[in-house]
DNA sequence: GAAAAAACATGATAATTATCAGTTTTTACA
DNA sequence: TGTAAAAACTGATAATTATCATGTTTTTTC
């Protein structure tokens, strides 16, 4: 038997904290723990989801293919986040694919439980609503960044964001290690352009690299760069 | 006395249709009808909203200033849409400004009524949730378009979108007339670049113009263009 | 109805970013 | 542990888009 939701810390960070004890028990009894290996996908764009995924550990990218076949990463998940909520709530196909960036531990929660609870527990609905409102605001910000900032600014912002959200190790390298390709797909640029820019940042001493690993050296300068100064 | 929400057609299109008769009456009694002149703003980014706006007539742009001072239009509202929901739900400042593109008629509904109903009527919460889920999906699409498509593709898409959503008059011109500046702020390009592209489209016979008015001539071709063919 | 302001338009040029064609380095694994 | 595949990188060049400068048309205002 796996650990219970009642004792799960990550629940604090997501909408499941609005559940009553009984509701939580139901969730706990029907959830399925899964381990996802780095690079494997949790679900794919256009798929019908049978439930949501609660992230216990690891990071995944939520991405979407554009008509030209390039991947665009729309969001990186944080620990405790629930994925697939939008799709389950709207009873819709997923508009995004979720792929593990490093090894993950997730809990799958069947959609019936989610929709039942949505119908009966207004607090839970509100909590989900608030999370979605937050996501929507962030999406708006991304839209503005994508259309008004240069690749250089977006990359600078990405580094600051990654440091803030996922931290750095004792040597000052970002904990979350992304491929150059992933960086390109976050920032929305050609991989070659992005690699060049990383070299440039390194030359200027704004970042340091060691293989795939990247460390933020001049956070302040990067932030100013992102803000257009 | 103004007309009642109970008889208002636009309610069909938004989350207010989930209200009970009594709830609807409360909304009706406390709502304030407003007329907004073309160019005037309903609310401004960073403001605390005291309620939501239900659009009875007219169109508004929801936009955000980027750090370089340029405006980015994130969304155009449709008739019946409720604006400011995100902000009221999250008890947050607005992240967007709303400006009337043509003369508008809107109803202001105080936030207390909205939040009370959210707390007591799970159907309403769910309905709002579904709308927000829809907005979020659309925002994801915009992100992908912004980062993966060229200005030309985005403009082509905008024309098709405007025709589909707001229709055309008897002479085949788009009902919704936008300034070149607005077009630039929708597709995320410099105004000069955008004007050039409009000239190009016109020269190719894809659109026709008459002053500010623009008509879609070759919808099929524009759509293919937007899809990258 | 004229003056002023705003919006529209075009040319020349510069900056940004993508693409293509490779080479080198790293990683995976038989 | 050697080798094939994948990822990272570099250079040359082309395409896209922004910027600046300036002229024209349309709209607004008094």
Asked if A71 and A130 touch (Cβ cutoff 8 Å), the reply is: no
Asked if B101 and B37 touch (Cβ cutoff 8 Å), the reply is: no
Average pLDDT for chain B: 93
Average pLDDT over residues A206-225: 94
Asked if A30 and A109 touch (Cβ cutoff 8 Å), the reply is: yes
- Looking at the fold, whether B125 and B171 belong to one and the same domain comes out as no
- Looking at the fold, whether A86 and A127 belong to one and the same domain comes out as yes
The strands making up B82-83's β-sheet, listed across from edge to edge, are B32-36, B104-110, B51-57, B82-83
User: CA nearest B106: which of B35, B39, B38, B44?
Assistant: B35
- For the domain that residue A186 is a member of, what is the CATH number? 1.10.10.10
pLDDT at A11 over 90: no
Reported as a pLDDT band with limits 50, 70 and 90, residue B12 is: confident
The four Cα atoms B60, B65, B66, B67 give a dihedral, to 10 degrees, of: 180
Average pLDDT over residues B189-195: 97
Q: Which pLDDT belongs to residue A2?
A: 61
- Looking at the fold, whether B128 and B49 belong to one and the same domain comes out as yes
Three-class secondary structure of residue A171 per DSSP: coil
Q: What is the pTM of this model?
A: 0.93
SS3 for chain B is CCCCHHHCHHHHHCHHHHCCHHHHHHHHHHCEEEEECCCCEEECCCCECCEEEEEEECCEEEEEECCCCCEEEEEECCCCCEECHHHHHHCCECCCEEEECCCEEEEEEEHHHHHHHHHHCHHHHHHHHHHHHHHHHHHHHHHHHHHHCCHHHHHHHHHHHHHHHHCECCCCCECCCCCHHHHHHHHCCCHHHHHHHHHHHHHCCCEEEECCEEEECCHHHHHHHHCCC
CA distance A70 to B144: 9
Listed as ranges, the nucleotides of chain D within 7 A of a protein C-beta are: 7-12, 16-21, 26-27
Nearest CA in chain A to B89: A130
Neighboring chain A residues of B228 at a CB cutoff of 8 Å: 67-68
- Looking at the fold, whether A81 and A177 belong to one and the same domain comes out as no
Q: Of the candidates A146, A166, A185, which is a domain's last residue?
A: A146
- Looking at the fold, whether B154 and B141 belong to one and the same domain comes out as no
Q: Which residues, 6 or more positions from B137, have their beta carbon under 8 angstroms from its beta carbon? A: A86, A90, A92, A95
ipTM: 0.93
Q: Of the candidates A108, A131, A146, which is a domain's last residue?
A: A146
- Looking at the fold, whether A115 and A157 belong to one and the same domain comes out as no
- Tens digit of pLDDT for each residue in A116-160? 999 989 899 999 999 999 999 999 999 999 999 999 999 999 999
Question: Distance (Å) from CA B193 to C1' C11?
Answer: 13
Task: Determine the number of helices (DSSP H) and then strands (DSSP E) in chain A.
Answer: 8, 10
Residue the block writes with tokens 């489209």: B201
CA distance A164 to chain B (A): 20
- Looking at the fold, whether A27 and A136 belong to one and the same domain comes out as yes
- Tens digit of pLDDT for each residue in A65-85? 988 889 999 999 988 999 999
pLDDT at A10 over 90: no
Q: Count the alpha carbons within 13 Å of B147 in the hemisphere toward its beta carbon.
A: 31
CA distance B117 to B82: 15
Query: Of the ranges A24-33, A43-52, B66-75, B190-199, which one carries the lowest mean pLDDT score?
Result: B66-75
Average pLDDT over residues B52-81: 93
- Looking at the fold, whether B211 and B108 belong to one and the same domain comes out as no
Residue B111 phi/psi, 5° resolution?
A: -65, -25
Q: Which tokens go with B40?
A: 């005037």
As a whole-number percent, the residues of chain A with pLDDT over 70 amount to 99
- Looking at the fold, whether B92 and B122 belong to one and the same domain comes out as yes
Nearest CA in chain B to A115: B126
- Tens digit of pLDDT for each residue in B69-108? 899 999 999 889 999 999 999 999 999 999 999 999 999 9
- Looking at the fold, whether A41 and A136 belong to one and the same domain comes out as yes
| Residues of chain A numbered 176-195 and touching chain B (CB < 8 Å) | 188
- Tens digit of pLDDT for each residue in B110-144? 999 999 999 989 899 999 999 999 999 999 999 99
Asked if A35 and A103 touch (Cβ cutoff 8 Å), the reply is: yes
Q: Which pLDDT belongs to residue B2?
A: 61
CA distance A1 to A32: 10
Q: Which of A69, A137, A145, A147 to mutate to test the interface with B (most CBs of B within 10 A)?
A: A147
- Looking at the fold, whether A134 and A28 belong to one and the same domain comes out as yes
The CA distances from residue B209 to A27, A105, B71, B91, B224, in Å, are 59, 56, 25, 44, 21
- For the domain that residue B78 is a member of, what is the CATH number? 2.60.120.10
Q: Of the candidates A146, A165, A195, which is a domain's last residue?
A: A146
Number of domains present in the structure of chain B: 2
Q: Which pLDDT belongs to residue A1?
A: 47
Listed as ranges, the nucleotides of chain C within 7 A of a protein C-beta are: 7-12, 16-21, 26-27
Reported as a pLDDT band with limits 50, 70 and 90, residue B228 is: confident
Of the candidates B66, B145, B147, the beta carbon closest to that of A144 is on B66
Neighboring chain B residues of A68 at a CB cutoff of 8 Å: 148-149, 228
- Looking at the fold, whether B14 and B103 belong to one and the same domain comes out as yes
Q: Which tokens go with A90?
A: 């709207």
CA distance A134 to chain B (A): 7
Q: Which domain holds residue A74?
A: 5-146
Average pLDDT over residues A185-196: 97
Cβ count within 10 A of residue B157: 19
């Amino acid at each position: 038997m796996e650990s219970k939701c009642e004792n799960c810390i990550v629940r604090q960070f997501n909408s499941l904290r609005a559940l009553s004890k009984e509701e939580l028990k139901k969730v706990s009894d029907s959830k399925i723990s899964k381990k996802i290996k780095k690079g494997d996908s949790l679900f794919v764009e256009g798929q019908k989801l049978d439930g949501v995924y609660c992230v216990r550990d690891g990071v995944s990218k939520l991405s979407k293919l554009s008509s030209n076949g390039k991947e665009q990463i729309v969001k990186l998940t944080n620990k405790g986040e629930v994925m697939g909520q939008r799709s389950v709530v709207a009873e819709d196909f997923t508009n995004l694919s979720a792929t593990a960036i490093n090894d993950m531990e997730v809990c799958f929660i069947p959609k019936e439980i989610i929709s039942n609870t949505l119908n009966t527990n207004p607090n839970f609905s509100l909590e989900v609503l608030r999370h979605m409102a937050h996501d929507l605001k962030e999406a708006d910000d991304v839209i503005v960044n994508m259309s008004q900032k240069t690749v250089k600014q977006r990359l600078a912002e990405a580094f600051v964001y990654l440091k803030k959200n996922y931290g750095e190790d004792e040597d000052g390298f970002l904990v979350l290690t992304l491929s150059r390709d992933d960086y390109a797909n976050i920032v929305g640029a050609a991989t070659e352009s992005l690699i060049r820019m990383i070299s440039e940042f390194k030359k200027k001493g704004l970042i340091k690299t060691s293989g795939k690993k990247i460390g933020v050296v001049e956070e302040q300068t990067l932030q100013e760069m992102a803000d257009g100064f």
